Amino acid sequence: MIGSARQRAPEGTAPEDALLANALLGGGLPSEAEEHLIAASLSYHHDEVAEAHLRQAEALAPGHAAVLIGLYRFYFYKGRLHETLDIARQCLAKAQRELNLPAAWRDISPRDAIFDRFEEMMPRFFLFTLKGYAYLQMRIGNLKEGQDAIDKLLELDPVDRIGAKVLKDILIGAERGDDEP
C-alpha cells in the first residue's frame, strides 16, 4: 500500500477538487437532497449521522454527481478507501454513460470525447475520477491497476492537465520500495 489512510492525497486526485463548485454538476439536484448534503457536511465529525444524510441524499437523487462527490469525499477523508473506490467506479460509469463512452475505461480513446479542452465538464469529471481511481488502486496495493489507469490518463490527457504524472512518480517510488516519491 502507498501512504497511510489519513494522509492527504496528491493535489487533484479526488474528482471533486475542481468540480464541486460547478453549477453544471449541481444542476437538477432536488432541494431536499441538497439539504441532506449540507447537513452531512455540518455533521462530518459524527460518522453515522453524516453518512445517513449522504444516503438520504442518494435516495432522493440517485446517481447525481453532487451526491456521488459528497459520498466520495466522505469515504475518502474517513480513510474508507474500498468504499471510496466503489463510488469512484460509480462516477466513472456515470461519466461513461453521459459521454457515450465504451463501458470499459481501458477501451476509451482520445477521440471518444473532448478530453483536451479543460472547460468540457463531463470529460474533465471522467479524467479526475480516473485519477482518483488510479490513486485509490495504488493505495490499496493494486499497483498494476493503478499503473494501467495512469497510462490511460496520460493517453487521454497527454499534456497532463489532470496531473497524472504526479501519480506516476509515486508509483515509480513505490516500485523502488519507497513509501513516498
Q: What is the pLDDT of residues 114-143, one digit of tens each?
A: 999 888 899 999 999 999 999 999 999 999
CA torsion 125-127-128-132 (nearest 10°) is 130
pLDDT the model gives residue 27:
73
Residue 162 DSSP label? S
pLDDT the model gives residue 2:
45
Task: List, for the chain, all residue ranges whose pLDDT scores fall below the cut of 50.
Answer: 1-24, 181
Count of C-beta atoms within a 10 Å radius of residue 49: 14
Residue at 47: amino acid letter: D
pLDDT tens across 138-165, in order? 999 999 999 999 999 999 999 999 999 9
pLDDT the model gives residue 25:
59
Distances in Å between the Cα of 36 and the Cα atoms of 39, 84, 121 are 5, 19, 24
pLDDT the model gives residue 33:
95
Count of C-beta atoms within a 10 Å radius of residue 73: 21
DSSP string, 48-97: HHHHHHHHHHHHHSTT-HHHHHHHHHHHHHTT-HHHHHHHHHHHHHHHHH
Cell 461513461, residue?
96
Element spanning 124, H or E: helix 121-139
pLDDT the model gives residue 23:
40
Q: Which residues of 118-157 are buried (b: 16+ CB within 10 A; e: fewer)?
A: eeebbbbbbbbbbbbbbbbbbbbebeeebbebbebbbebb
Longest dimension (CA), the chain: 49
